[in-house]
Amino acid sequence: MDFVHQLIQQLINGVSLGSIYALIALGYTMIYGIIKLINFAHGDIYMVGAYLGFFGVTAAGLPILPALLISMFVTGLLGMVVEKLAYKPLRHAPRISILITAIGVSFFLEYTGMYFVTPTPRTFPDVIGNISFNAGGFIINGQQVLIFAITIILMALLTYIVQKTKLGKAMRAASFDTETAQLMGIDADRVISMTFFIGSSLAAAAGVLVGVYYNTIDPLMGIMPGLKAFVAAVLGGIGILPGAVVGGIILGVIEALVAGFLSSTFRDAAAFAILILVLLIKPTGLFGKNTHEKV
Amino acid sequence: MNSVRRRDLTMLIIGLIIFGVIQGMISGGMIGAFWQLNIILICVNVIMAVSLNLINGYTGQFSIGHAGFMAVGSYVGVVATTNFHLPFIVALILGAICAGILGFLIGLPTLRLRGDYLAIATLGLGEIIRIVIMNIEYVGGAAGFKGIPHLTNFAWVYGAMLITLFFIKNFVNSSHGRACIAIRENEIAAEAMGVNTTKYKVMAFTIGAAFAGIAGGLFAHQFYLISPNSFTFLASFNYLIMVVLGGMGSITGSIAGAFVVTFISAALASFPEVRMIIYALALILLMFYRPQGLFGYMEITNFTPIKKVLDKISGKEA
Amino acid sequence: MAENKPLLKAEDVSEVFGGLKAVADFNFYINKGELIGLIGPNGAGKTTIFNLITGVYVPTTGDIQLDGESIVGQKPYEITQRGIARTFQNIRLFSELSVLDNVKIAYHCHVKYGLIETVLRMGRYFTEENEITAESLKLLKIFKLDEHAYEVAKNLPYGAQRRLEIARALAAKPKLLLLDEPAAGMNPQETHELMEMIRWIRKQFGLTVLLIEHDMSLVMGICERIYVLEYGMIIAEGTPAEIQNNPEVIRAYLGTESMN
Ligand SMILES: Nc1ncnc2c1ncn2[C@@H]1O[C@H](COP(=O)(O)OP(=O)(O)O)[C@@H](O)[C@H]1O
Ligand SMILES: [Mg+2]
C-alpha cells in the first residue's frame, strides 16, 4: 500500500532527525538538571560543532570520524569556557539574569561566528558517498546509517559514564541536590564544568551529523534545532536523560509526519505546539514526577 | 491630590513642547528622511518596550514573544485600511483589540507557567503566530502584504506613544498596578493579600499585547510592504533588550532603552554582525554589573533635582 | 464550652504529601473574638494547617468552614477576601518595595475604583488612594514602622520585617488573623512588645487570632486556649494552665524545648 509505504519511509526519516534532536536535548537536559538553566546558547554550540567538523573535513582533509572526534573535543572545551566565563559568576543570581545572559551568549556565538565564517551557507562535503540500503522497498541511506550508529554509540557511552563512573555518580548527586552533594564532598564546580563538556560535545556530534545529513551549514543553523531540542527535553521531562532521547525521537517523528503529510511550513509550528501542550497538560514531561511547592 | 493632577499636566505640556520642536524641525526640512524614519521607529519601539515592560518588568512574567502581538496588530491594521478602506484610527484600534484578545486567549493558559518555562512558551507562541500568518494566502503568505498606504507620520506615532505612556504610568501607580507588582515580588504573598494573581497576570498580558498591536499598526503603515519576517523572535529579543537595558520596572528605562537600541541599530545598520555582537556583550555585561538595568525601578521623575523642578512647576503643596 | 456557631471550624481534616501524613484527622474550632495558640514540635504540621485554612493546599479529606460555610477548594485570594489574613513563618514581604507599598498592596481587595478610573485618574481614584495611604500610615504607626515608611522592605531589621508582615495582613481587614511564629528571631524585649501589640490590635480591630509560636512565654501569656499538635494530630487542648500540666504535652516537648 502506498500510504503505509510512505508512512514507514517518513518514520525512518523522523527517527534520523529525532536522533539528532536527542543528542542536543541530552545536553540541555543535563545542564538544566544540574544548574536549572535553559542554556539558550546550546543550539549555537551545536553550530560551532558543525563548523569545526566542516573545517576538519575540508581544510584539514581529515576523514569524517577523526573530524567528528576533534570537533566534539574542542566544542566540549568551548562549552566549559562559556560556563566558566558567563554562567559561573552568576551562580547565585536570579534565574532570569542567567537566562538573559544565556540569550546574550547565544547571540554572541551566532554573530561572532557569522563575522568570521560569513553568513553564506557552506556545503558540507559528501563524506559517505551515494550509498543507500534498500530494505524491502524502504530506503535507508548511508547518512542515516551513520547517524544511527553514532547516536547509539554515544548514548551507550553516556549511559556508562552516568551509571558507572565516579563522575557520573557525582553528576547524579549534584543534579538531585547541589548543596547536599557539595556537603558530601563533591566538587560541584568540577561536576558542572564536566557536564558542560559532555553536553557540548554531544551537541557537536549532532552538528557534524546534521552537516553530513543535510549537506549544508550556516551560522544561524543552531537556533531552530536548539529550541526544538529544548522542546524534546521538556517533552521527555527536563533533567531526565532517557526522557531527552525519547522526547527527541518523538519530536523528530512528528515533524517528519507533519512535513510529509501536511506541509513543511508547519514543521516548526508543530514543535512549539507540542511544547505548549506538554507544558499545559504535564509540565514535568512524560517521565517526570509531580511535585508540590512548599510554602 | 491636585498636585498629582497638576504634575500630569506639566508632563503632558513638556511632552507637547518636545513634539512641537521635533515636528517643527521635520516640517522645516531640518531632519532628513533617514532620521525621520528612525524617530518614528523610536516612538514605535517605545510603545513596544513599555508595553512589554508591563508584562516582564512590572508583573514579572518573563515573556519573549512580543513581536507576535505586533504582527497581529500590523496585519489586522493593513487589511482594515488596504482591503476595507477603513480610517487609520479604526484600523489601529481594531489591531489593538485583536492583539489584546489573542493575548487574553494565550495568556489564560500559559501564565500558569513560571520563569523560564513561560519564556520558552511565549517564544513558541510568537513563532506560531508568525508561521500561521505565513500560511494565510489572503495576507500574502511568506511573501508579505504589499500596497499598504503610507498613513503613519510623526504626529500619529508620537500621539500614540504619549497615550501609551500615560496609560501605563497611571496603571502601575494604582491598586491594579500594585497588584501586578506584588505578583512580581512574591506571588504567594500577593495571593495571600487578596490579589487574584491569574486575573492580574492575564490583565497585564492583555494590555501589553493590545499596545503591541497599536505599535504594529503604526509600524506597518510606515512601509509599502510588511512580511512575517519582520516579526521573528529576533524582533522579540530586540524589544526584550530595550526593556532589560533600561530596567525592568521603569518606564523611563524603557524609553531610554528604545532610544539607545534604535540609535545603535541605525548607526550600525551596515554592520549587522557587529551590532548583534555589541548587543550580546551588552546583555552579558549588564547581567554581571547592573542586572537591574540602567534605571532599575527608578523613574526620572523621582530623581531629586528633577522632582524638585517638577514639584515647583506643578506647585506641590508642601 | 462549645458555642453553636464558631467563626472557623475544621472537621476531620487530613493532608497527605506523597506518603507522609502531615496532618491527620484534625478537628478544631475558634469562636469569634478568641485568641488561640497552636503549638507543637517542629514538623508537627502547624504551618500546613495554616496553608490548609488559607487555601494554599487543598485538604486530602475533611472540611473547613468559615462562618458555617465551607471554604475548601477556594483560592487563597478568595479566602483572604472572605476575611482570613495571615503572616508567613519564612517572611514573604514584597522585598524590593517600600514599607508603605507593602501595606498598600494589601488594601487591594477593598478598592472599588475600576480600570477606567485608574487610567483616566478620575472618580474614586484620588479619594480611595488618599484613604489607602492614610490608613496604611496609621497601621505602620501602630507597629512602630512609620519612620521607615519609605525604606525598602528588605533593608528592615528582622524584627521589623516580622512586624511589617502583621501590619500588611491587617491591611486586608480580616476577621481572622493567622500568625505563623511572629516572634521567631526576636529578642525577649521585642517579643514582649509584640505581645502587647497583638493584644492591642485584637481589641482595637475586634479580631480573632490564631497564633503559632514556639516562645512559651508569649503563648502562655496571651492565648486563651491552646491546641497542641504532634505528628499532625492534636494531643491536647485546653487553657494555658491545663496545657502546662498535661503529661502528654510535657512528654512531647521533653528534650526538644522546656516549658517555662
Ligand atoms: N509541600 C510539601 N511537600 C511535602 N512535604 C511537606 C510540604 N509541606 C510540609 N511538608 C511536610 O509536612 C510536615 C509538617 O510541616 P510543617 O507544617 O511545616 O510543620 P511545622 O510548621 O509544625 O513545623 C513536615 O514533615 C514537612 O516536611
Ligand atoms: Mg512551621
Every domain of chain A and the residues it spans: 2-118+139-281
Break chain B into its structural domains and give their ranges: 2-314
Contact status, residue B106 vs residue B100, Cβ threshold 8 Å: no
Q: B109 and chain A: CB distance < 8 Å anywhere?
A: yes
DSSP lists the bridge partners of residue B25 as none
Is the CB of residue B229 less than 8 Å away from at least one CB of chain C? no
CA angle (C142 as vertex; C140, C147 as ends), nearest 5: 45
- Cα–Cα distances in angstroms (integers) from residue C42 to residues A163, C14, C48, C194, C230, in the given order: 37, 18, 11, 22, 9
* pLDDT score for B316: 55
B79 secondary structure, DSSP code = I
List subunits contacting chain A, requiring 3 or more Cβ pairs under 8 Å.
Answer: B, C
Q: Which residues contact B293 (CB under 8 A, 6 or more apart)?
A: B243, B244, B245, B246, B247, B248, B250, B253, B257, B286
Q: Is C46 in the pocket of ligand 1 (CB under 6 A)?
A: yes
Interhelix angle B33-53/B154-172, rounded to 10 degrees, is 20
For residue range A244-280, what is the model confidence (pLDDT) as tens digits? Answer: 999 999 999 999 999 888 877 788 888 888 988 888 8
pTM: predicted TM-score of the whole model, two decimal places = 0.91
Residue pair B172/B54 in contact (Cβ under 8 Å)? The answer is: yes
Quickly name the fold that domain B2-314 has: ABC transporter involved in vitamin B12 uptake, BtuC (1.10.3470)
pLDDT score at A289: 73
What CA–CA distances, in Å, run from C77 to B96, B176, B205, C33, C59?
30, 15, 20, 23, 17
- Is the CB of C42 within 6 Å of ligand 1? yes
Model pLDDT, residue B58: 96
Specify the DSSP class assigned to residue C52: H
Non-local (6+) Cβ contacts of A40 within 8 A are A99, A102, A103, A105, A106, A226
Mean pLDDT per 10-residue interval, chain C, length 260 residues: 76 91 93 94 94 95 94 96 96 95 95 91 90 95 94 94 96 96 91 92 94 89 93 92 86 58
DSSP letter at A90 equals G
Residue nearest to atom 11 of ligand 1 (CA): C22
Contact between B181 and C105 using a beta-carbon 8 Å cutoff: yes
Residue B318 has what pLDDT? 39
Write out the three cell numbers for A60: 584539514
Q: How far is the CA of C141 from the centre of ligand 2 (A)?
A: 28
Find, among C216, C223, C257, C233, the residue nearest to C44 by Cα.
Answer: C233
Considering Cα of C185, then C186, then C188, then C193, what sign does the dihedral take? Answer: negative
Q: Cα of C96 to ligand 2 centre, how many Å?
A: 25
Name the phi and psi angles at C37, rounded to 5.
-105, 145
Give A111's contacts in chain B (Cβ within 8 Å).
272-274, 276-277, 280
Nearest CA to ligand 1 atom 17: C45
SS3 label, residue C152:
strand
**Do residues B208 and B66 make contact, with C-beta atoms less than 8 angstroms apart?**
yes
pLDDT at A95: 80
* Nearest CA-CA distance, residue B309 and chain A, Å: 35
CB pairs under 8 A between A and B: 114
Residue C48 Cβ inside 6 Å of ligand 1? The answer reads: yes
Domains of chain C: residue spans and CATH: 1-83+174-260 (3.40.50.300), 96-172 (no CATH)
Conformational region of residue C39, where left means phi above 0, alpha means psi within -120 to 50, and beta covers everything else: beta
CA of A261 to the centre of ligand 2 (A): 57
Other C-beta atoms lying within 10 Å of the C-beta of residue C229: 24
Tell me, in angstroms, the distance from the centre of ligand 2 to residue C23's CA: 12
Report yes or no: C17 at the A interface, CB cutoff 8 Å: yes
Partner residues linked to C17 by β-bridges: C20
Q: Is there an atom of ligand 1 within 6 Å of A292 CB?
A: yes
Which of B5, B59, B186, B193 has the most C C-beta neighbours within 10 Å, making it the best mutation to test the interface with C? B193
**Grid-cell match 500560511, residue found:** B135
Beta strands in B9-149 (DSSP E): none
Instruction: Please tell me the predicted confidence (pLDDT) of residue B299.
Output: 86
pLDDT tier at A20, thresholds 50, 70, 90: very high
- The C-alpha of B264 sits at a distance from chain C's nearest C-alpha, in angstroms, of 32
For residue C222, the model assigns a pLDDT of 92
Question: SS3 letters for B151-203?
Answer: CCCHHHHHHHHHHHHHHHHHHHCCHHHHHHHHHHHCHHHHHHCCCCHHHHHHH
**Interface check B178 vs C, CB under 8 A:** yes
Q: What pLDDT is stored for residue A291 in this prediction?
A: 63
Q: Which residue of chain B comes nearest to C172, CA vs CA?
A: B193
Question: Would you place residue A92 in the very low, low, confident or very high pLDDT band (cuts 50, 70, 90)?
Answer: confident
State whether residue A53 is helix, strand or coil: helix
Nearest of A237, A239, A223 to residue A27 by alpha carbon: A239
Q: How many CA atoms lie within 13 A of C60 on its CB side?
A: 14
Can you tell me which residue has the cell 506523597?
A: C18
Determine the distance separating the centroid of ligand 2 and the alpha carbon of C90, expressed in angstroms: 8
Q: If we measure between CA atoms, which residue out of B100, B137, B109 comes closest to residue B216?
A: B100
Residue contact B181–C94, C-beta within 8 A:
yes
Distances (CA, A) of C193 to A72, C149, C160, C183, C199: 65, 20, 12, 10, 10
Chain B CB contacts of C95 under 8 Å are 185-186
At which residue does the C-alpha cell 512528528 appear?
A254
What digits encode the pLDDT tens for the residues A180-223?
Answer: 777 777 788 899 999 999 999 999 999 999 999 988 999 999 99
pLDDT at A292 over 70: no
Q: Which residues of B touch A234 (CB under 8 A)?
A: 117, 120
Please tell me the number of the ligand nearest to residue C40's CA: 1
Which of A269, A273, A279 is the closest to B117 by Cβ? A279
Q: Is A166 in the pocket of ligand 1 (CB under 6 A)?
A: no
Query: Can you tell me the distance from the alpha carbon of C61 to that of C23, in angstroms, rounded to the nearest whole number?
Result: 10
Residue in C90, C94, C115, C132 to test binding to B, most B beta-carbons within 10 Å: C94
Instruction: Label residues C140-166 b or e (16+ Cβ within 10 Å = b).
Output: bebbebeebbeebbeebeebbbbbbbb
What span, in angstroms and rounded, lies between the C-alpha atoms of A196 and A269?
29
Encoded amino acid at A221, one letter: M
Ligand 1 lined by A289 (C-beta under 6 Å): no
| Residue spans of beta strands (DSSP E) within chain C | 8-17, 20-30, 35-39, 61-66, 69-70, 84-86, 176-180, 208-212, 225-230, 233-238
Give the closest residue (by CA) to ligand 1 atom 12: C22
Q: Is C256 in the pocket of ligand 1 (CB under 6 A)?
A: no
> How would you classify the pairing of strands C35-39 and C225-230?
parallel
Residue A93 has phi, psi (to 5 degrees) of: -80, 165
User: Strand C61-66 relative to strand C69-70: parallel, antiparallel, unpaired?
Assistant: antiparallel
Closest CA to A162 of A201, A191, A193, A205: A191
Among C16, C26, C38, C48, which residue has the most ligand 1 atoms within 8 Å of its CB, making it the best to mutate?
C48
Give the nearest partner residue to B176 out of C80, C101, C115, using CB atoms. Answer: C115
Nearest to A49 by CA among A18, A17, A27, A16: A27
Ligand 1 touching residue C182 (CB < 6 A): no
Chain C, window 68-127: residues with a beta carbon less than 8 angstroms from a chain A beta carbon? 88
Give the Å distance between the CA of C165 and the centre of ligand 2: 16
Are A53 and A208 in contact by the 8 Å Cβ rule? The answer is yes
Q: Where are the beta strands (DSSP E) in A54-96?
A: none
**∠A125-A129-A130 over CA atoms, to 5°?**
125
Distance (Å) from the alpha carbon of C141 to chain A's nearest alpha carbon: 29
Contacts of A295 in chain B (CB under 8 A): 188
DSSP B226: B
Confidence of residue A23 (pLDDT cuts 50, 70, 90): very high
Q: What span, in angstroms and rounded, lies between the C-alpha atoms of C254 and A102? A: 52
What residues are paired with C180 via a beta bridge? C212
Residues of chain C contacting A295 with CB distance shorter than 8 Å: 47, 51, 56-57, 88
| Chain A, chain C: beta-carbon pairs less than 8 Å apart | 7
Confidence (pLDDT) at B2? 67
> To which residue does cell 531640518 refer?
B30
Question: How many residues appear in chain B?
Answer: 318
Q: Which of C191, C197, C196, C242 is nearest to C217 (CA)?
A: C191
**Residues of chain B where predicted confidence (pLDDT) is lower than 50:** 317-318
- Residue A134, H or E segment: strand A132-135
Within 10 A of C21 (CB to CB), how many other CB atoms are there? Answer: 16
How many other CB atoms sit within 10 Å of the CB of residue B135?
Answer: 15
Strands C176-180 and C20-30: unpaired
Could you tell me which of B221, B197, B189 has the C-alpha nearest to residue B40?
B221
Nearest to B231 by CA among B139, B144, B109: B144
User: Is A2-118+139-281 a CATH 1.10.1740 domain?
Assistant: no
Mean pLDDT of A77-82: 97
Nearest chain A residue to B283 by CA: give it: A104
Of the ligands numbered here, which is closest to the C-alpha atom of C256? 1
CB atoms A295 and C51 under 8 Å: yes
Contact C47 A292 (CB under 8 A): no
Contacts of B192 in chain C (CB under 8 A): 54, 56, 76-77, 80, 85-86, 88, 92
**b/e code A178-217 from CB counts within 10 Å (16+ = b):** beebeeeebebeebbbbbbbbbbbbbbbbbbbbbbbeeeb
Atom number in ligand 1 closest to CA C180:
21
Residue B313 burial (CB < 10 Å; 0-12/13-18/19+)? middle
> Alpha carbon of C157 to those of A249, C96, C141, C161, C213: distances in Å?
54, 14, 16, 6, 20
For residue A23, give the nearest of A75, A66, A59, A63 by alpha carbon: A75
Q: What's the pLDDT score for residue A195? A: 94
> Which of B131, B134, B279 has the CB atom closest to A107's CB atom?
B279
Q: What is the pLDDT of residue C1?
A: 44
Please enumerate in sequence order all residues whose Cβ is within 8 A of that of B262, keeping only pairs 6 or more positions apart, or say none: B38, B41, B42, B45
Q: Is B40 in a helix, a strand, or coil?
A: helix
**How many residues are recorded in chain A?**
295
